[in-house]
Structure formats: C-alpha cells, structure tokens
Structure 1
C-alpha cells in the first residue's frame, strides 16, 4: 500500500464547517406518520465502510407515544395537542425529536443512543450544566423534563428542553459580509470569555448533588442550588471496559492529579484487556509489515509516563491551574444567531468537562487554521482577492476564498482573544502548555495498536525539558528541575522515524478522505454515497495496479482503508 507522495486534487467546498458529531445532519419532513424504522434508525447519511456497526450503535428503539406524553406533560399540554412530531437531527451520540403543539409551542427531546456512555452521568451532567449556565447568564435551552435511566415509560434516557429561537450559524456564515463575520467572531470570543470566567473549585463535570449522592464531589457555593463537581462525564473515561473499572475519574483539585489519573486509567486497561492486534489505522499496518503489535511497548510507555507525571501540571493559584468550563463541541451549528446576526444561545452541552486552563486552552477546531504558515505567524490576512481572481476557474476561486476565510477566522479568534481573554491567549501559545497537552492527549488515547505516538511525545518532552519546566509548570522547582530519565540514541532514532512515517500516513489518509468526501468514520451524506463508493473503488484499483511487491499487493487488497474490517483485531 503506497502512502508516500500521495497527491490529491482539490475538492470544491472542502473545508466548510461540518455539523455536530460524526454524521450529524438535520432531518426534515419526518412527520407524525413516520414509520418506526425512520424513528428508531439512523437515516441522515451512510458509511462507506463498517456501516453495519455504525447503524447498530445508533439504533434506538423507544415508545414514541410515551415520548409524546412526556413532551406534552413537560409543556403543560396534552398529547392530543401535538400536531407534528418529527425527527429533527441525529449525530454520533443522540437523536433529536421536535414536537409542535396546536398553539405553535415547540419543544425538543434529545435521546442518547444505547451506545452513548456513560449511562446516567451523561444526561445528569448535561442537565445540571444547562441549568447552571443559565443561572449565570449563558443562554442555553431550558430543561423541562429528563430521565437519566432507561427504566421509564419511554424506554430510553431523555432530556426534554425548550427550542431556542435562532438559526445555526453554519447555515448563514457563507452569506455574511466580512464585516458581519467580524461581528460574529467578536461575539463568539466574548461569549467564551464569559464562560471561562466562571469560578469553579475543581475539575470534573457538573451535577446536582442529589444525582450522584454516593460519589466523591466538591460542592459549588455560587449559586447555592445543590450543584457540585463530580466524576468527569467525558466518554473517554468510560470507553469499553473502563466503564466498570475502579479508576479515579475526579473531581480533582490539582492539575497534577489529572495527569496521573489518565495514565493510571490507560495502564490499568491495557494491562487487563489489551491483546496483540493490527493497528486500527490501516495505513499504519504496512509500516509494521502487516504484523500484529503486542501491547508490551505501550505498557512500558505508560509506566514511563507515570514516572514523568509527578512533574506534570501547573502551579497552584496560577492562571493555568484554574478550572474552567468550555463548550464540548464549539462549532457553528451549535451557535444560534438571530436575523440581525446576534448570538442568542449555545446548544449541545453533552459530555461537558471542567479542566485546568492549561489543559482546556486552545483554538476551537472549527476556527483554527494550523498548518498554514500565514495563520501560524498570526499575520493579518489579506481580505481582497488577487488581481487575477476573475480569470480563474470556479474551483480555483472557491479554493482562494476558502483559504482567505480560514486565515481570517484564525486571525480574528486569536486577535480578539488577546484583547478580551489574555489569560487564554497566553495559554494557547505557551510552549510548556503545548507540551503538557500533547502528553495528556497521547497518554489518554486508547491503545489500538499504536505504541509510538506516546513514546515520541515523551521523547520530545524530555528533549525540551527546560521548556516544560518554565513558566507556571510545577516542574520548575525541586527534583523536577532535572530530566527524570533519558532515552538511548537508538531508541530516539527508531521512535521518531516511526512517528514520522505514521504522520506521513495520517496526511495521506486525510488526503484520501478529502478526495472520497468522507469523514474519519467514512460518513457521507445519502446523496453522495454512490459517488463516494465509486471514488474509493477507483483509488483501490489504482493502488492495486501500482503494487510492486507481494506485500504491497496484500496491503492494498486486504487492508484498504475504505473496506469493511474487524475493528478489534
């Protein structure tokens, strides 16, 4: 399977903001007479590989009439007053339904899929988060009714909430003038600054104390309505067997404790459950000669990480140690705007977490343009098209406009954050913070045959130890002033070479997905499914034709990244 120098043609429209979650799309026209298949199954798109798994994860059977009654009772109305009931949207974790009553009142019901974890904590935390933020002036949907257990007449967990006025920003962004876009970005940073200014005593997730009575928690004094910070509700801490393991999920009152907990979590899981396997990323497999990788190296890396973790974290009372809450999926389709382009509310707070600023800091994924030298230098971008623009093809013009848009959004987010939220700005570009974040991410990534990324990040951390120990790092004093250990030159060379090859494979995979028009899970809209399958087939044919050796042929034939495969082996 050839991954070197894989070049792909540009795709018109690439780079536009996707909707929330893998494969989230709004569904229109499924009224009350919709069949159970339409209500219970995912219908908003297709997957070009392992579709049976993705559909099974999203299959949600429930009592629709019981849901009607719950939505009506929560609205102080009768179920007979419902004139329309439709599937409104569905994504990677939830399905949304909208009920319209005969007086025009509308409410939304969000039902997590059975595969969405953690059970109980996901719903209980989101409800508390929505209520807490509303009390602090952050407009979120008002919760009318909810159940964090399937043991109810509906037969599923649910949240019934108000439908906020406004339309998703993603539906209007490309019709806005540059001046209007500037105004929106200014509001986005202002809302985020308000959110990050909330004073919170620990890291974890928000709950009502009554909903986690037996859990370790830290009470919130402001407001005094029974809120607390309890176990972290992010799904990564509950993935697969982690849901039943005895591990430290918080709350944490120091940043160092979080760095230790995530390493202990993954070490405990890997020692108990990991087995030799092919790398999940199929373009990695040829790097390792299509052999199964044992978890031994990753276990060793995690043990080394835990030795290193005593020096990770931020000084108490420093800005980087301060717990902050950020939107878990801060992207345009979760931002509602009015007809006058005023932000009126923020949607989708599922899996919200509170983390130290040094871990939470960063440009939201949909507003960043890393990889572009102009954006990374934070130079003010051009707002006028080049002189030859009108003589270019439509696809070339679209590419130029998209490049300009991405640069402008990246620059505006940084510049406006510097102006109104300097602590966050400083954290985003702090090299010690970046080293901390990379280690935290790679240590917490579930092992799926990749033993190299964590080791490479630890090598870079040790090599840059003076940077890590600078600023507000707890490593700036005592025993942590010295490197905790060293790597042999041969280990450094092998690891960094393998890491470079994996990154090359990542780039090739991203290019291939762009050409096919799918996301990381192979999702594509219904109307583009046929074309995506055809393009993937063409790529596989070309790779087979270009195979020079039996190993190349086997890799292209049996490990093609857009074919069905066993995700656990």
Structure 2
C-alpha cells in the first residue's frame, strides 16, 4: 500500500449492513451482518492476486443478506470483486471452501460461466485479513435486471432457452453422495467418492463431496447444532438426517419469529410437541415418500437462486448469458429438492394445469391501471408457461420434478425440512390425507398398511389446526397485498420506506386486534405473537 493510499479501514460503512433496516430483531439482524477485518490487507491481497502494484479504488456493492462484496480497481486498470461472508453466511471454512470449489467445477465440468477465482481464504483465524474472502473476476456484462423489462419477447425466449441449455448441462452430472462440493484437500473425501458425467464415472482427485452447506443447515440458528452434516451415500440417510436436524433444533434453539403466518387465539399457535410428533411420523414413513425415478432422486449440483441480479447478459446482445454469480450454499441434493424455475420469471400464481398459453385478457371496460395489471399478468403467466414448455421438451427429468412437487409425498418432505420454523399443522393435515392414497405410492407394496391409526378426535384436532394455520397464512397474504411495496420481505425494508412501513404495520396490528381479540388476555397473546417490533 503506497504512502498516499487511502486507509480503507477508516470507512465504517464498508463493514456494516447499510442497505436498509430490519423490522424484526433489528439489533441482532444488523449484528450478524457486520464484520470487521483488515480491508487494507485485503486490497493488497487482491492486487497481488492479479499481478497489479496496488489497488487504487474500492466501492462497496449494495449489501447482500449474507455477504459483503467490493469492486476493487487496480492501478493497471484491472477490476476484481472481493467477497467477504458475514457471520450469518454459514458454517466457517466450509461455506467459503465449498463456494470456491463449486464455481471452479461449474466452469470446468458443467461448462457454466461462473466467476474465476484468483485468491481465497476459508480460515479467518490464520490469515492477516482476519476474515474469509474470495477474490474473483468481475463478471462481464450487466445484470439481467437492468435489461429484462425492455427486452423484446423473442430475446426473452432466447434467455430462457440459454438457461434451459445450462440446466441440461447441470443435469448431465450426478454424484455418488449428497452434501456439498469441495476441493479434495479441504475435506475428508468419503469412500467411493466420484461423479458421473453423461453416464461415465469420473474419479476426479481434485473434487470431493463433503458436509452440506445448504441454507437449511444453518438458518435460524441451526449452525450451532451438534449434528451430522454429511456427506450421505443414500437418499434415506440424507432425509433421515434432515429429520434429526429439525428435532434437535426444536429441542434446543429458541424458535424464530413467524412471518409466514400470523398466530394467536383464533389463528394457529406454533406447538413444539406437535412439531416433534410430525417429525417422528415423517421419520417413520420417509422411505415410502421417496419417488422411484432415479432421474429426480439422483444427487445433483444446482444453482437455486437464479434471480435477475445473479444472471449477467451481454448489454449489446442481451439474450447471451455472460455469467452466473453467487454460488454460495449451492449444494448436492436430490434433484427434486432443487428449484426448477428461475426466480426472475416472477410467477406466484398457481401451477398451470396444462401447457396451453393463457388467453388474451378482455380489456374493454377496464380502467388504465386495471388494463396494465391484466396485461402484465397475462405476459408473466405466458412467459412462465413458455418456460415450462421448454423444460418439458428439453429437460424431461426437471419436468418430472415439477410433477412430483404437486404430490402429498413431496409436500411432506418439503415441510419436514423447515419444521423448526413452521409447517406442523399442514404436515399433519397432509399425512391424514395420505391415508387415502397410501397404496398408490410407488414404493409401497400391497401388504404394507398405512402405519397410523387416527381417531375421530385426532381428525378433528388436525383439521382445526390446519384451518387455523391456513387462516393465519391467508391473513398474511391479505396484509401483503394491502401494504404492497411497504411489506418487509424477510423482515427487511429500504431506509426511505422504513417509517411508512412501521406506520402501516402499526395500523395492521390495530386492525387485527380489533377484529380478532375479544378479551384483554387474547389481546396480550396476539401482542406476544406479533413478529414486528
């Protein structure tokens, strides 16, 4: 660092979360997104990694929920991105080590344009920077978010086709184990570690499967659990480990505040014992829930967060994808556990019943605002159906995932993964319904009876719980629609909307109390469950 060089460490905003405010547990949410380290040293490491004399400029990108990222410009004109994980990003060492190996594997084996890494460290205690970090290429092009709104329909379809081709490449590789990907030197490779590409077994000495780094293994405090984190040689072992993880979380961690559904006396109340009971039932029947088609149960590596800021395109030729970023926590999971759809398609309606395009909306008699909304919904829906058509034609296994996700078996597996946070009421309701279709499950033979004997009292209690939970989720949906862009998704809101958001939530709370609370005791209970400060 030259004598006239700025002291990057003196800028407090580089180390704090500055993108907005939190409406839930703000002090704690800001704390776990603040990290102190030697940015001067990191700039020096970055310059050395690309053969520059020094770094002359650092700009911080808008904060992510789990990382800090900086654009570092060198004296020779080179630019790199430095990424530093926050304390909430995942398990120390494993999260960074896996991200680096995954990006390398994506480029070398999956033929996917992931960033090239110049330098990295996953052992914060043993490095002068004092933090884990990754120094990598600045991805060419612009985020898809900058151009998607102005792209013509044929260009948008070309982007979907390009993504379909990328996913086909991801589908061409499966692994011997479930977990996450690493360099072989960073984990103890399991016995029989290999991957299969286009049907051929590859025993690569460079890469190995190690402990899982998916978000569900550390979100909501799970990182402190003393549990088995893989890798697992069989799907049953993996799904049973998920059940064990959730049981230990329920038994030993304070539950997070619930914003997926509002809770209280006339709504559902989260129940620890019901959660544990649901997981015990899950562990008893998990083998029967596993689909037979190996194409959707094979261990696959996937990028599950394809939103429009993680996909980069050529600004002059926007149908060409130039990069996919943010591979943190990408993991090797059964294909049916991965998200088949890119988030930027933004379709939150029901799964289409057919692949027929939706009819043009009738616009006569509508106000300009209603026309605009109807045209937007028609466009978004048909773009999503177009995506589904491509998937059906090009990636049959991925389309089978879509079909499996409509079943009760998948619903039960999905809810078990997040039982610590929510889902026990819906789980128990789905399980009751499963009795009628138990014999149709592909792995159940005719001599295996449904293993649970529910009484009429059980049926009534489970239905009441389910109806109450549905009412709680519907109330959240209603409030979300009413608040529009003031709704604090994941408890977060931008600075300029914070005061308006707080005022709107206060109004909502008063209305809920007036509508539902009949006594002081009930009012106090709604206050207790109200998630927002």
Normalised TM-score (structure 2): 0.88
Question: Structure 1 residues 289, 399: CA separation in 2 closer, same or farther (over 3 Å shift)?
Answer: closer
1:146 aligns with 2:120: yes
> What's the Cα RMSD here?
3.0
CA contact (8 A) 2:304 2:338 kept: no
CA contact (8 A) 1:216 1:230 kept: no
Question: Structure 1 residues 112, 402: CA separation in 2 closer, same or farther (over 3 Å shift)?
Answer: same
Question: Structure 1 residues 114, 120: CA separation in 2 closer, same or farther (over 3 Å shift)?
Answer: same
Question: Structure 1 residues 539, 252: CA separation in 2 closer, same or farther (over 3 Å shift)?
Answer: same
Query: In structure 1, how many angstroms separate the alpha carbons of the residues matched to 2:257 and 2:61?
Result: 39
Aligned-partner SS, 1:337: strand
1:532 positional shift = 1.9
1:261 aligns with 2:258: no
CA contact (8 A) 2:52 2:76 kept: no
1:67 positional shift = 1.1
Question: Structure 1 residues 533, 268: CA separation in 2 closer, same or farther (over 3 Å shift)?
Answer: closer
CA contact (8 A) 1:367 1:409 kept: yes
Aligned-partner SS, 1:283: coil
CA contact (8 A) 1:202 1:254 kept: yes
Query: In structure 1, how many angstroms separate the alpha carbons of the residues matched to 2:380 and 2:461?
Result: 36
Deviations along 1:168-219, one digit per CA (max 9) or x if unpaired, are 1122111112222222222222211211222322221101111013777824
Highest relative contact order (Cα 8 Å, sep 6+), 1 or 2? 1
Identify which of 528, 531, 545 aligns with 2:497: 528
Identify which of 323, 339, 344 aligns with 1:345: 323
CA contact (8 A) 1:282 1:559 kept: no
CA contact (8 A) 2:267 2:472 kept: no
Q: Which residue of structure 2 aligns with residue 326 of structure 1?
A: 302
CA contact (8 A) 1:381 1:404 kept: yes
CA contact (8 A) 1:314 1:358 kept: no
Question: Structure 1 residues 430, 512: CA separation in 2 closer, same or farther (over 3 Å shift)?
Answer: same
Instruction: For 1:32-111, list aligned pairs within 5 A.
Output: 36-79=11-54, 82-111=55-84
Query: In structure 2, how many angstroms separate the alpha carbons of the residues matched to 1:176 and 1:451?
Result: 43
Question: Structure 1 residues 202, 367: CA separation in 2 closer, same or farther (over 3 Å shift)?
Answer: farther
1:234 aligns with 2:204: no
Question: Structure 1 residues 73, 257: CA separation in 2 closer, same or farther (over 3 Å shift)?
Answer: same
1:193 aligns with 2:168: yes
Question: Structure 1 residues 176, 119: CA separation in 2 closer, same or farther (over 3 Å shift)?
Answer: same
Identify which of 304, 308, 315 aligns with 2:285: 308
Q: Which residue of structure 2 aligns with residue 482 of structure 1?
A: 449
Query: In structure 2, how many angstroms separate the alpha carbons of the residues matched to 1:224 and 1:217?
Result: 11
Query: In structure 2, how many angstroms separate the alpha carbons of the residues matched to 1:310 and 1:47?
Result: 41
Query: In structure 2, how many angstroms separate the alpha carbons of the residues matched to 1:239 and 1:277?
Result: 10
1:484 positional shift = 2.4
CA contact (8 A) 2:209 2:231 kept: yes
Identify which of 159, 162, 166 aligns with 1:184: 159
Query: In structure 1, how many angstroms separate the alpha carbons of the residues matched to 2:7 and 2:167?
Result: 38
1:32 positional shift = 7.8
Q: Which residue of structure 2 aligns with residue 358 of structure 1?
A: 336
Query: In structure 1, how many angstroms separate the alpha carbons of the residues matched to 2:390 and 2:256?
Result: 46
1:135 positional shift = 0.4
1:96 positional shift = 0.5
Question: Structure 1 residues 231, 190: CA separation in 2 closer, same or farther (over 3 Å shift)?
Answer: same
1:126 aligns with 2:99: yes
1:559 positional shift = 4.4
1:60 positional shift = 1.2
CA contact (8 A) 2:480 2:487 kept: yes
Question: Structure 1 residues 344, 274: CA separation in 2 closer, same or farther (over 3 Å shift)?
Answer: closer
Aligned-partner SS, 1:199: strand
Identify which of 230, 240, 243 aligns with 1:250: 230
Query: In structure 1, how many angstroms separate the alpha carbons of the residues matched to 2:298 and 2:423?
Result: 32
CA contact (8 A) 1:260 1:310 kept: no
Unaligned runs of 5+ in 2: 1-5, 196-200
Identify which of 227, 252, 272 aligns with 1:295: 272
Query: In structure 1, how many angstroms separate the alpha carbons of the residues matched to 2:367 and 2:473?
Result: 31
Query: In structure 1, how many angstroms separate the alpha carbons of the residues matched to 2:515 and 2:290?
Result: 49
Identify which of 409, 434, 455 aligns with 1:461: 434
Q: How many corresponding residue pairs? A: 516
Query: In structure 1, how many angstroms separate the alpha carbons of the residues matched to 2:41 and 2:235?
Result: 44
Query: In structure 1, how many angstroms separate the alpha carbons of the residues matched to 2:501 and 2:177?
Result: 46
Aligned-partner SS, 1:311: helix
Query: In structure 2, how many angstroms separate the alpha carbons of the residues matched to 1:412 and 1:300?
Result: 42
Question: Structure 1 residues 408, 32: CA separation in 2 closer, same or farther (over 3 Å shift)?
Answer: farther
1:304 positional shift = 1.9
Deviations along 1:36-95, one digit per CA (max 9) or x if unpaired, are 32111111112233322221111111111011111111111122xx23201013211111
Question: Structure 1 residues 108, 274: CA separation in 2 closer, same or farther (over 3 Å shift)?
Answer: closer
Q: Which residue of structure 2 aligns with residue 501 of structure 1?
A: 468
CA contact (8 A) 1:88 1:96 kept: yes
Aligned-partner SS, 2:131: coil
Shifted more, 96-105 versus 359-368: the winner is: 359-368
Shifted more, 261-270 versus 175-184: the winner is: 261-270
Deviations along 1:352-377, one digit per CA (max 9) or x if unpaired, are 1112223336434443635347x344
Unaligned runs of 5+ in 1: 1-30, 565-569
Shifted more, 182-191 versus 211-220: the winner is: 211-220
Aligned-partner SS, 2:72: strand
Q: Which residue of structure 2 aligns with residue 420 of structure 1?
A: 394
Q: Which residue of structure 1 aligns with residue 508 of structure 2?
A: 539
Query: In structure 2, how many angstroms separate the alpha carbons of the residues matched to 1:241 and 1:172?
Result: 37
Normalised TM-score (structure 1): 0.82
